[in-house]
Amino acid sequence: MKHLFIGAALALFGLPTLAAEGHAHGFAFGEPAPAAKATRTVEVVLKDIAFEPASLQVKAGETVRFVLINQGQLPHEFNLGDKAMHVEHQKQMVAMQGKIFTAGSQHEGMDHSQMGHGEHGHDGGNTVLLQPGQRGELTWTFRTSAPIEFACNVPGHYQAGMVGPLTIE
């Protein structure tokens, strides 16, 4: 009984820390922005297992609103990041599988219980997870030119080729 209580307390303590991390603002290549700031809207269709279009081009300084439509039979993600970030996110996605309601699963427990609802913000607003048939949006201000990819980090999808280059000119 005592152990359970301590476990619950630890789990609760973990949450504020994580929330703080989740608010790390942006990345070298940019940061999330309100949709109203966007000067351009780009539609991206998520399929089993591909993106359409297969590559994206933006300008440094530009704010782009991505309208995301999952036309597949599987959940898919639209995640902006460099290769290292995608590798990290894939680890998180694997770790959270089947652990959504487990208090001991560190920071995965809270945020990923929201995953079915489209957006989960713990990665700095650079990712949206969509269930089959679902639509979502992500608006991003691009900064420094950097080799970025848009990718789906649902386990196995990146490896199967659900990733495309995003060029910041």
In whole angstroms, how close is the CB of 64 to Cu ion at the nearest point? 21
Where do we find the tokens 């196995």?
156
* C-beta neighbour count of 86 within 10 angstroms: 21
Read off the DSSP letter of residue 12: H
Choice between 44 and 154, CB closer to Cu ion: 154
Asked if 112 touches Cu ion (CB under 5 A), the answer is no
In whole angstroms, how close is the CB of 80 to Cu ion at the nearest point? 15
In whole angstroms, how close is the CB of 25 to Cu ion at the nearest point? 27
Asked if 162 touches Cu ion (CB under 5 A), the answer is yes
Rounded CA-CA distance 26/81 in Å is 11
Q: What is the contact mask toward Cu ion in residues 44 to 83, using x (rule: CB under 5 A)?
A: --------------------------------x-------
Read off the DSSP letter of residue 160: T
Asked if 122 touches Cu ion (CB under 5 A), the answer is no
Asked if 130 touches Cu ion (CB under 5 A), the answer is no
In whole angstroms, how close is the CB of 153 to Cu ion at the nearest point? 8
Are 32 and 142 spatial neighbours (Cβ–Cβ below 8 Å)? no
* Binding residues for Cu ion restricted to 132-161, rule: CB under 5 A: 152, 154, 157
DSSP codes joined into one string, 37-97: G-SEEEEEEEETTEEESS-EEE-TT-EEEEEEEE-SSS-EEEEEE-HHHHHHHHHHHHHHT
Tokens linked to 74: 């599987």
In whole angstroms, how close is the CB of 158 to Cu ion at the nearest point? 8
User: Which residues would be at the binding site for Cu ion (CB under 5 A)?
Assistant: 76, 152, 154, 157, 162
